[in-house]
Structure 1
């Protein structure tokens, strides 16, 4: 996407950005290994995702455990892992790779999130390249 790694990192880690492309979720986290990672509704009333930071190397890599909480059957499954890897792909261009793995014991979560990451990436790319969210 046409953005620096620092801009992409901010879009991943700052709630004012995530609220605009990540299903209206604000991310609450200090991004220190071992600390909680939480995705909350904009009003903070509902927790959608929880996990723990495994690795944070700004602006190159973020790895967290990740569990969906928006449905009871998903919340009952174990945490998976989400890795965000950023690489310079040209001047002012960053390649972002998201890998959501360790879902063997979480088949309902795997099915639920299968198409969601494409939506998240499309929304982030649009926001960073145009300054406007993809959807209303």
Structure 2
């Protein structure tokens, strides 16, 4: 997986936060299979942190994520009682099965809930040999705490490895039928 970030703030000031995070991964799966794994609630809870995505796949449509029982139990064990909807947003662009853009607002704690809405873009490009590249761009201006979380900064504290981990888990599931943790 390749990843890059663009930062703002001054080094050492405590205000460094990736304002744009880019992740690119190659998956031996069809564009349709990847699209389904990203957009179908029966698939979305099977990889990453276990969220059920409800999405109206049209510009202006809603985007919501609800935690699975396992995700909710893990958060509660760490002292975080999650709200019913943990992420909300709006679908901005849809070109199935190649491009999806939606806004993203994490509601899992007061810190991230108080930050700005951000934007996530998925680009799926078919490659030779039954493979696709999946590029995820998360524009995080106005959401420094979220940038740290999705960048994997809190992995050692039980908050997971961010987007790099979730995309790796998606790749594992699509290529082998099993999650990384199975």
- How big is the shift at 1:37? 0.3
Q: Determine if the alignment matches structure 1 residue 25 to structure 2 residue 51.
A: yes
Q: Which runs of 4+ in 1 moved over 2 A?
A: 42-46
Deviations 1:33-53 (A, max 9, x none): 101101111259721211000
> Which residue is equivalent to 2:171?
125
d(CA) in 2 for partners of 1:111, 1:42 = 23
Q: Determine if the alignment matches structure 1 residue 16 to structure 2 residue 54.
A: no
Moved more, 89-98 or 42-51: 42-51
User: Which of 22, 25, 31 is residue 5 of structure 1 equivalent to?
Assistant: 31
d(CA) in 2 for partners of 1:22, 1:31 = 21
d(CA) in 1 for partners of 2:57, 2:129 = 27
d(CA) in 2 for partners of 1:92, 1:46 = 38
Structure 1 residues without counterparts, runs of 5 or longer: none
Q: Determine if the alignment matches structure 1 residue 58 to structure 2 residue 96.
A: yes
Q: Computing the radius of gyration over CA atoms, which structure comes out larger, 1 or 2?
A: 2
- How big is the shift at 1:22? 2.6
SS at match of 2:179: coil
- How big is the shift at 1:26? 0.6
Deviations 1:29-71 (A, max 9, x none): 1211101101111259721211000001100000000011111
d(CA) in 2 for partners of 1:104, 1:42 = 28
d(CA) in 1 for partners of 2:149, 2:110 = 12
- How big is the shift at 1:91? 2.5
- How big is the shift at 1:134? 1.8
> Which residue is equivalent to 1:114?
151
Q: TM-score, normalised by structure 1?
A: 0.93
